[in-house]
């Protein structure tokens, strides 16, 4: 089986632009972890789309089972994708939800009749729109951080608040404000949402989904640094012991509410004095994936491939916490 793997940031999605250093490091972590998992599976071959401005691990360059497909500034990313995908049995995209990127790629793969190793384009579209997702989950009674549009300023609770891009990814574009006067600096208010700032422990869930069923793989803790008004992910501790009875129930609720979720999905949460609340649903690999093999001792990539023909089946071989530091040096 040959799989076309491309992580959007490192795989040519920015071949005509400056590489966003804030996302490159996380993209490289996810990509390397996925490749190591795939190369441990018998009869798997990989075609890897790659931005040659970034170095590749020597082991990957010398591995005969990996075909490197460089994406230069002179090439069109979508054209290369259209040429390479039909040569493979399945496509595994890792891309941001922002600006409809992951949805467009997922829809293209579906329309091409190829196997998509990820959530449906419909599920991606829903989860990418933070306000639309909030309204859908709120209707199902799922605990959430309240979310408002700029058209709802008259019903906002007292500050401070957090302003986020409506389709943002990670900490990109998130700003904390203490005064309603600061709302005036937002030039395209329809593209942003507002949430009350809540103090608490930032957690995430690594899960597997298929056919309206969800299974928790592990819980993770995020350490996020606040730089005046902005935020930056510093580290992730994968597989922390913060389990509560409502977590598996929450995963099942999300599976029932968004049946198009498939494969690996990350769920961002906050544990505040009011309990556990959902912040975001990420229908793709997240940075936490890069620590799961060491933390749990099992090949999660193999479990995802197995979903093509069977049910969710993942068994941990060990149980330890792994800390992933997120370096931020500019290239």
pLDDT digits (tens, 9 = 90+) for 70-90: 999 999 999 999 999 999 999
Which of the residue ranges 114-118, 132-136, 157-161, 302-306 would you say has the lowest mean pLDDT?
A: 157-161
- Identify any residues that bridge with 23 across adjacent strands, giving them in sequence order: none
Q: State the Cα–Cα distance between residues 209 and 26, nearest whole angstrom.
A: 23
Find the range with the poorest average confidence among 42-51, 113-122, 230-239: 230-239
Reported confidence tier of residue 20, pLDDT bands at 50, 70, 90: confident
- From 38, 92, 2, 27, select the one nearest 293 (Cα to Cα): 38
**CATH for the stretch 128-139+199-325:** 3.30.470.20
pLDDT average, residue stretch 97-123: 95
Question: Is pLDDT of 280 > 90?
Answer: yes
Burial state string for 285-311 with b = 16 or more CB within 10 A and e = fewer than 16: bbbbbbbbbebbebbbbbbbbbbeeee
pLDDT grade for 147, boundaries at 50, 70 and 90: very high
| Among candidate residues 128, 226, 100, the one with its CA nearest the CA of residue 175 | 226
Domain 2-117 has CATH 1.10.10.10: no
Provide the token pair at 128.
């990418």
**pLDDT at 328 (0 to 100):** 66
Total-model pTM = 0.94
Q: What is the pLDDT at residue 228?
A: 72
Q: What is the pLDDT of residue 137?
A: 97
Q: Is 314 helix (H, G, I), strand (E, B) or coil?
A: coil
Give yes or no for a contact between 136 and 259, defined as CB atoms under 8 angstroms apart: no
Q: Which residue has the tokens 């196997």?
A: 115
Confidence (pLDDT) at 171: 66
Which residue's structure tokens are 């899960």?
Answer: 207
| Helix/strand/coil (H/E/C) assignment for every residue in 124-172 | HHHHHCHHHHHHHHHHCCCCECCCEEHHHHHHCCCCCEEEEECCCCCCC
CB 5 within 8 A of CB 47: yes
pLDDT at position 330 = 46
Average pLDDT over residues 294-319: 97
Q: What is the pLDDT of residue 231?
A: 73
229 has a pLDDT exceeding 90 = no
Task: Determine the average pLDDT of the residues in 300-329.
Answer: 93
Q: Is 235 exposed, middle or buried (0-12, 13-18, 19+ CB in 10 A)?
A: middle
**Structural tokens at position 241:** 């012991």
Q: Share the mean pLDDT of the chain.
A: 92
The larger pLDDT score, comparing residue 169 to residue 286, is at 286
Which has the minimum average pLDDT: 189-198, 201-210, 214-223, 299-308? 189-198
Tell me the backbone φ, ψ of residue 267, rounded to 5 degrees: -125, 120
Residue 162 token pair: 């957090």
- Select the more confidently predicted residue: 225 or 279: 279
pLDDT at position 96, please? 86
| pLDDT recorded at residue 329 | 55
For 153-172, how does the pLDDT look when each residue is reduced to its tens digit (9 = 90+)?
888 888 899 899 888 776 67
Over the stretch 2-11, which tens digit does the pLDDT of each residue have? 999 999 999 9
Report which listed range, 24-28, 60-64, 226-230, is most confident: 24-28
Going 258 to 287 to 203 to 322, the CA torsion angle's sign is positive
Please compute the mean of the pLDDT values over residues 123-140 and round it to a whole number.
96
At 233-274, the pLDDT tens digits run 889 999 998 778 899 999 999 999 999 999 999 999 999 999
Q: State yes or no: cis peptide before 239, omega within 30 of 0.
A: no
Helix (H, G, I), strand (E, B) or coil at 29: helix
Note whether 59 and 129 are within 8 A (CB).
Answer: no
**Crossing angle (nearest 10°) for helices 130-139 and 246-257:** 110
CA distances from 174 to 163, 197, 199 (A): 6, 11, 15
Indicate the domain borders of the chain: 2-117, 128-139+199-325, 148-196
- φ/ψ of residue 71, rounded to 5: -115, 105
């Amino acid at each position: 089986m040959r799989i076309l793997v491309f992580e959007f940031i490192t795989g040519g999605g920015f071949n005509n632009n400056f590489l966003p250093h804030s996302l490159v490091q996380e993209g490289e972590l996810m990509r390397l972890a996925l490749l190591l998992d795939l190369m441990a599976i018998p009869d798997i071959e990989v075609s890897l789309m790659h931005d040659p401005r970034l170095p590749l691990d020597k082991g990957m360059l010398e591995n005969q089972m990996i075909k490197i497909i460089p994406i230069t500034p002179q090439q069109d990313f979508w054209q290369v994708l259209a040429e390479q995908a039909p040569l493979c049995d399945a496509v595994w995209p890792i891309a941001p939800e922002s600006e409809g990127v992951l949805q467009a790629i997922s829809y293209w793969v579906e329309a091409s009749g190829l196997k998509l190793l990820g959530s449906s384009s419909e599920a991606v579209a829903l989860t990418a729109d933070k306000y639309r997702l909030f309204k859908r989950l709120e209707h199902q009674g799922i605990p959430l951080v309240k979310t408002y549009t700029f058209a709802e300023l008259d019903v906002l609770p007292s500050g401070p608040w957090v302003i986020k891009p409506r389709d943002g990814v990670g900490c990109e574009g998130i700003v904390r404000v203490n005064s309603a006067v600061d709302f005036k600096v937002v030039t395209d208010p329809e593209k942003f949402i507002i949430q009350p700032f809540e103090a608490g422990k930032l957690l995430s869930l690594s899960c597997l989904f298929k056919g309206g069923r969800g299974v928790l793989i592990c819980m993770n803790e995020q350490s996020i640094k606040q730089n005046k008004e902005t935020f930056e992910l510093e580290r992730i501790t994968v597989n922390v012991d913060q389990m509560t009875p409502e977590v598996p129930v929450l995963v099942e609720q999300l599976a029932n509410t968004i049946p198009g979720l498939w494969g690996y999905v990350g769920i961002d949460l906050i544990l505040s004095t009011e309990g556990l609340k959902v912040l975001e649903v990420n229908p793709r690999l997240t940075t936490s994936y890069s620590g799961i093999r060491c933390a749990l001792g099992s090949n999660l990539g193999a479990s995802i491939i197995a979903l093509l023909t069977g049910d969710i089946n993942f068994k941990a071989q060990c149980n330890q916490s792994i800390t992933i530091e997120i370096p931020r040096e500019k290239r």
